[in-house]
């Protein structure tokens, strides 16, 4: 088993594990200031999953500097408030999110579009797929990662941007625990509070949703006793939706083990339990789900954990 040394300059080389929003954004910054880096991702290809994502006005100066602001605006719509309802769609209140006094609107857009834009900024030779990191180590002042395909890579700095169940974090914890340096609370499992399903619908009949014609997004949140759900009007006649079901600690543990079994067929079980919920934009949530490609519906955990290390 040989080790690939990615160092090519007299400056630290950075290994970034995870090609999500965080990993790609860091790669773009390194690309801009000419710091050598390489991104590793466990998937074989990037899938356009996710629901709506927002950027607040104070983040846009950096995208302006990177030359990406106008590109983001092409698929974005401003969001200036959010409406909150109970499960009977009785309005509980609203929150003003108008931050134009900072020079920019808050912007809402499909997460997949934003991720695609960031990915385009990374040279193809600086990202490797099918690279699941299973262990890390420090040796002779270098950091080394080993992947599930038995390949290893060497650099100077390692960044774990591989999500809540980060392999990099788990390896780091293992080393710290062996040295008696890991806080006990960091050994606790992530606590799963909600099981969430989400996606982006393209309604067959956009005229049914007059909110799609607005200058700004219509962002709604419904708070029920054991469920929450959301519907958000986006640009280009799309609607972002999501719904969460509260789970107990025991249920969360069982769901974690079934994570690998998730897919379109398993989603149908959850859909049948929520498809009749009233949609704040009109009709039912099931109608939005019906207008969403089944392979692009995501089911995720919403975890809670404070990391001390």
> Nearest 5°: phi and psi at 299?
-125, 120
Helix %, strand %, coil % for the chain, to 5? 30, 30, 40
Q: Which residues of the chain have pLDDT under 70?
A: 1-9, 101, 251-267, 269, 305-309
* C-alpha radius of gyration, the chain, whole number: 21
Q: For domain 77-107+190-304, which CATH number applies: 3.20.20.70, 3.40.50.970, 2.60.40.1180, 3.30.9.30? A: 3.30.9.30
Q: Which phi and psi angles does 293 have, rounded to 5°? A: -55, 130
What distance in Å separates the CA atoms of residue 192 and residue 6, rounded to the nearest whole number? 38
pTM, 2 dp: 0.87
Residue pair 216/79 in contact (Cβ under 8 Å)? The answer is: yes
Does residue 132 contact residue 148 with C-beta atoms inside 8 Å? yes
Assign a CATH topology to domain 3-45+129-182: FAD/NAD(P)-binding domain (3.50.50)
pLDDT tens across 67-111, in order?
999 999 999 999 999 999 999 999 999 999 887 767 899 999 999
Q: Could you tell me which of 214, 218, 216, 278 has the C-alpha nearest to residue 243?
A: 278
Strand partners, 199: 241
Domain boundaries, the chain: 3-45+129-182, 77-107+190-304
Q: Tokens standing for 166?
A: 């980060």
| Distance of alpha carbon 149 from alpha carbon 151, whole angstroms | 6
Q: What is the C-alpha end-to-end distance of the chain, expressed in Å?
A: 32
pLDDT attached to residue 260: 45
Task: Look at residue 3 in the predicted model and tell me its pLDDT.
Answer: 66
Specify the DSSP element, H or E, that contains 226.
Answer: none
pLDDT tens digits, 185-207? 887 777 777 788 999 999 999 99
């Amino acid at each position: 088993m040989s080790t690939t040394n990615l160092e090519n300059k007299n400056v630290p080389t950075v290994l970034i594990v995870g090609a999500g929003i965080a990993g790609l954004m860091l790669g773009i910054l390194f690309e801009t200031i000419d710091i050598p880096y390489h991104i590793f991702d466990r998937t074989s290809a990037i899938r356009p999953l996710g629901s709506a994502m927002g950027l607040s006005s104070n983040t846009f100066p950096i995208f302006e500097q990177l030359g990406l602001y106008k590109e983001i605006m092409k698929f974005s719509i401003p969001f200036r408030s959010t409406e909150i309802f109970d499960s009977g769609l009785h309005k509980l209140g609203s929150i003003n999110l108008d931050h134009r006094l900072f020079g920019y609107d808050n912007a809402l857009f499909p997460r997949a579009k934003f991720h695609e834009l960031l990915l385009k900024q990374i040279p193809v030779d600086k990202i490797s797929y099918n690279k699941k990191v299973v262990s890390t180590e420090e040796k002779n002042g270098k950091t080394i990662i080993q992947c599930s395909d038995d390949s290893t890579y060497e650099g100077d700095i390692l960044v774990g941007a591989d999500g809540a169940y980060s392999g990099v974090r788990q390896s780091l914890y293992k080393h710290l625990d062996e040295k008696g340096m890991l806080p006990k609370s960091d050994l606790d499992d992530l606590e799963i509070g909600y099981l969430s399903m989400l996606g982006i619908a393209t309604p067959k009949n956009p005229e049914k949703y007059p909110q799609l014609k607005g200058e700004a997004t219509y962002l709604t949140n419904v708070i029920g006793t054991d469920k929450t759900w959301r519907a958000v009007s986006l640009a280009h006649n799309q609607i972002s939706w999501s719904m969460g079901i509260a789970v107990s600690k025991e249920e969360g543990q069982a769901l974690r083990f079934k994570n690998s079994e998730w897919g379109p067929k398993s989603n149908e079980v959850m859909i049948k339990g929520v498809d009749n919920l009233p949609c704040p934009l009109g009709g039912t949530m099931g109608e939005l789900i019906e207008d969403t490609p089944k392979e692009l519906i995501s089911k995720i955990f919403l975890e809670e954990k404070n990391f001390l290390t």
